[in-house]
């Protein structure tokens, strides 16, 4: 199969006819690129799992192009859930709701709930709207690989496995959506993201963060290793320990790279003599750039040494991904 990258203008008609014929299409969102199929067609949804090599007991998110579509996918939507939807959609959030009878088991992995997301990205919205059906989509990477934040990342990973990638440039948010379970007694964050606990608490009063003790897999990384670069990755607690680790790797003939925000790198003496990737000035920029930096680093280096972004706000969301990518290894 040939894989082509096309702009919305060049590729929209083809994308819509692929979806109508039960095939998959890759499309950009503001978080990461998604690998989409008609969420109401079980056979089409199965093709997502095939292309991704993903275990079919991991449920998919259904993407919509208008708030009104929620009632096609979900039932018994609470007032609290509606408040979250009103505040944050369209945007980088997925809301877990009780599923309607129209949603096939292939999407929800037989759960009685469904994850619903209304992306903000213009290309995503126009594509989904033109299809006229909700689009089930995981991130457009093969299972366990880093999520793609450019069309070129997707091509590198999925060439020959998908017919069409819609071009949408670099994703602005850069990590996957926040997932909040609105069917739990206390609304519970299953995966942190750009919509933070603090922001959700403003609307809900009370939210629970995932505490690591749930046994049933409810969000990625709890059961499957996720977001892993092909090289080693460690988190450095300080700029000094980053440099120490860099030297240790060098002695072992491993080319390493330090990645962090500008002010972190500024704290490294002689930074120009080491390999580094600058993630930008703010946590929002670091979040936007982190996956692209991991993609670049894994191609060139044997070890990624990454800044610790702390436990609060966007920093906590970035760390959630980094901890998984590094397997929790710290220096």
- Residues near ligand TXA (CB under 6 A) are 29, 31-32, 34, 58-61, 94, 96, 108, 111, 113-115, 117, 137-139, 176-177, 179, 190, 218-220
Considering beta carbons, is residue 90 or 220 the nearer one to ligand TXA? 220
Please tell me whether residue 139 binds Mg ion under the rule CB under 5 A. yes
Q: How far is CA 228 from CA 67, 94, 192, 330, in A?
A: 34, 22, 17, 15
Q: How far apart are the first and last CA of the chain?
A: 44
Tell me which of ligand TXA, Mg ion, none is bound by residue 29, counting a contact when its beta carbon lies within the kind-specific cut-off of 5 to 8 angstroms.
ligand TXA
H or E segment to which residue 9 belongs: helix 8-20
Residue 298 binds Mg ion, judged by CB under 5 A: no
Number of residues that bind Mg ion (CB under 5 A): 1
Distance between CA atoms of residues 159 and 310, nearest Å: 36
Question: At closest approach, how far in Å is the CB of 176 from Mg ion?
Answer: 6
**Sheet of 256-260, strand order:** 232-236, 303-307, 256-260, 276-278
Q: With 0-12 CB in 10 A as exposed, 13-18 as middle and 19+ as buried, what is 158?
A: buried
Residue 72 and residue 53: Cα distance in Å, rounded? 28
Q: Which CB, 114 or 304, lies closer to ligand TXA?
A: 114
Question: If contact means CB under 5 to 8 A according to the sort of partner, which of ligand TXA, Mg ion, none does residue 326 touch?
Answer: none
Q: Which of 156, 186, 149, 203 is nearest to 34 (CA)?
A: 149
Q: How far is the CB of 142 from Mg ion (least distance, A)?
A: 10
Query: Looking at the chain, how many residues does it have?
Result: 331
Does residue 317 bind Mg ion (CB under 5 A)? no
The contact pattern for Mg ion, residues 242-281, with x = CB under 5 A and - = no contact, is ----------------------------------------
Least distance (Å) between residue 143 CB and Mg ion: 8
**Residue 89 three-state SS:** coil
CB of residue 145 vs ligand TXA: minimum separation in angstroms? 11
3-state class of 204 per DSSP? helix
31: contact with Mg ion by CB under 5 A: no
28 binds, among ligand TXA, Mg ion, none (CB under 5 to 8 A by kind): none
Chain center to CA of 241 = 29
Our CB check for ligand TXA shows the closer of 137 and 239 to be: 137
> Could you check whether the bond before residue 91 is cis, i.e. omega within 30 degrees of 0?
no
Closest CB to ligand TXA among 94 and 150? 94
Q: Which residues bind Mg ion (CB under 5 A)?
A: 139
């Amino acid at each position: 199969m040939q894989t082509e990258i096309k702009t919305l203008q060049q590729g929209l008609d083809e994308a819509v006819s692929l979806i109508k014929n039960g095939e998959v299409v890759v499309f950009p969102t503001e978080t990461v690129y998604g690998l989409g199929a008609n969420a109401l067609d079980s056979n089409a949804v199965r093709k997502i799992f095939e292309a991704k090599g993903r275990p079919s007991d991991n449920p998919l998110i259904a993407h919509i192009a208008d708030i009104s579509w929620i009632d096609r996918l979900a039932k018994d939507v609470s007032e609290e859930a509606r408040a979250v939807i009103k505040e944050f959609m369209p945007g980088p959030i997925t809301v877990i709701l009780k599923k309607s009878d129209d949603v096939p088991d292939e999407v929800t992995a037989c759960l009685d709930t469904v994850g619903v997301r209304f992306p903000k990205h213009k290309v995503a919205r126009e594509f989904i709207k033109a299809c006229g059906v909700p689009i089930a989509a995981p991130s457009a990477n093969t299972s366990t690989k880093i999520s793609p934040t450019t069309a070129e990342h997707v091509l590198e990973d999925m060439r020959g496995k998908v017919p069409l990638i819609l071009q949408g440039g670099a994703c602005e948010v850069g990590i996957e959506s926040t997932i909040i379970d609105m069917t739990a007694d206390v609304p519970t964050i299953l995966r942190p993201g750009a919509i933070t606990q603090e922001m959700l608490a403003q609307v809900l009063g009370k939210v629970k963060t995932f505490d690591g003790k749930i046994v049933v897999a409810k969000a990625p990384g709890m059961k499957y290793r996720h977001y892993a670069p092909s090289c080693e990755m460690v988190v450095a607690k300080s700029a000094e320990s980053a440099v120490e680790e860099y030297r240790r790797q060098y002695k072992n003939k491993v080319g390493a790279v330090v990645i962090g925000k500008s002010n972190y790198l500024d704290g490294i003496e002689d930074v120009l003599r080491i390999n580094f990737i600058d993630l930008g000035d703010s946590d929002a920029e670091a979040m936007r750039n982190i996956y692209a930096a991991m993609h670049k680093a894994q191609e060139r280096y044997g070890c990624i040494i990454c800044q610790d972004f702390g436990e609060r706000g966007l920093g906590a969301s970035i760390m959630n991904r980094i901890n998984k990518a590094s397997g929790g290894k710290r220096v």
